[in-house]
């Protein structure tokens, strides 16, 4: 791929998940948001105007929402890793998806002082 790193980004994917170390988080759930950037070479798709030659962001959104709704996990670190693995598994053509950045937002985290958001951001290369 000659080091081309074009980016496809989807932000604000939201769903209710049941992740957290406290029993009430697993029982009641809360909204989680995930942002993802996929690194690929978009030139083949751009040259042919062919969706089959790029990474379909509609499919990406469905994979991410399924992962938020899975689990439950104690840690958002686990949610981030499992979501990244699911994305790589979905796009199993190693030549197309070479890396990703993923941020999990937990704006309703059980913190006793005022705050806006808690995030975990990871960067992963294709295994």
User: Which one of 19, 96, 105, 106 is the catalytic residue?
Assistant: 106
Residue 45 contacts residue 93 (beta carbons within 8 Å): no
CB atoms within 10 A of CB 101: 16
CA distances from 51 to 57, 59, 71 (A): 10, 12, 31
Q: Is 106 a catalytic residue?
A: yes
The three-state secondary structure class of 68 is helix
Active-site residue list: 106
């Amino acid at each position: 791929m000659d080091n081309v790193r074009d980016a496809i980004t989807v932000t604000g994917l939201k769903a209710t998940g049941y992740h957290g170390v406290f029993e009430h988080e697993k029982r009641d759930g809360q909204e989680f948001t995930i942002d993802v950037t996929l690194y690929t070479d978009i030139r083949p798709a751009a040259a042919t105007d062919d969706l089959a030659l790029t990474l379909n962001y509609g499919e990406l959104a469905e994979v991410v929402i399924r992962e938020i709704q899975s689990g439950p996990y104690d840690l958002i670190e686990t949610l981030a890793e499992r979501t990244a693995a699911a994305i790589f598994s979905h796009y199993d053509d190693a030549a197309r998806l070479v890396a990703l950045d993923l941020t999990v937002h937990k704006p309703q985290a059980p913190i006793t002082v005022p705050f806006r958001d808690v995030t975990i951001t990871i960067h992963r290369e294709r295994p």
